Amino acid sequence: MKKIAVFASGNGSNFQVIAEQFPVEFVFSDHRDAFVLERANQLRVKSYAFELKEFENKADYEAALVELLQEHQIDLVCLAGYMKIVGSTLLSAYEGRIINIHPAYLPEFPGAHGIEDAWQAGVEQSGVTIHWVDSGVDTGKIIQQVRVPRLAEDTLESFEARIHEAEYRLYLEVLDSLGVDRK
């Protein structure tokens, strides 16, 4: 059975969807006050949190992450709203075992503001992408994508809500396709 960990920086809605369907070994947040930690507590999922500023440098921060992943024998890391770029320390230890969800149809609108960038560009559709993490920003090999149309009556908020709904469905499909056992 593949053991998964989820990394998240904020609200944790993708984490919750995953944890309700799949056994998550632990959730990690790079913010000690992130709501994802409360979600983990409610779902009885082990959680850890520490921040980059608590370490000398990013390499030491990521070395602590690698130690945590190895201690729990994690097979797959699922980034779900984890707002840090994966650096060389973590990538060298877990390359080919880290996936990320991005709220746009890559290569369109990479970076931290995919939904807002698509909205501002006035596109007729955007989407959701799940990809393998590499050394670039949202440049890894695409696993699966889905398009989300922008409707005439959409506001930024309704467009964003429909993109998040697509994220929840897509993450479950991808984890199934990667052979992760459901609960």
Mean pLDDT of 156-170: 97
pLDDT-based confidence at 102, cuts 50/70/90?
Answer: very high
Backbone angles phi, psi at 158, to 5 degrees: -70, -35
Nearest to 101 by CA among 43, 54, 166, 160: 166
Residue located via tokens 């709904």: 165
Element (H, E) at 54: none
Mean pLDDT of 163-180: 97
* The pLDDT value given to residue 94: 97
| 156/138 Cα distance (integer angstroms) | 22
Bin 54: left if φ > 0, else alpha if -120 < ψ < 50, else beta.
alpha
Cis peptide before 107 (omega within 30 of 0): yes
- The pLDDT tens digits for 14-33 are 999 999 999 999 999 999 99
pLDDT averaged over the chain? Answer: 97
| 3/72 Cα distance (integer angstroms) | 8
Alpha-helical segments (H) within the chain: 13-21, 35-42, 58-71, 88-94, 114-121, 156-177
The residues that are catalytic are 102
Mean pLDDT of 111-124: 96
Alpha-helical segments (H) within 22-155: 35-42, 58-71, 88-94, 114-121
In the three-class reduction of DSSP (H, G, I as helix; E, B as strand; rest coil), residue 49 is classed as strand
Mean pLDDT of 144-157: 97
CB under 8 Å, gap of 24 or more: what pairs does 105-114 form? Answer: 105/129, 105/145, 105/147, 106/131, 106/138, 106/142, 106/145, 107/138, 107/139, 110/137, 110/138, 110/139, 111/137, 111/138, 112/83
pLDDT-based confidence at 114, cuts 50/70/90?
Answer: very high
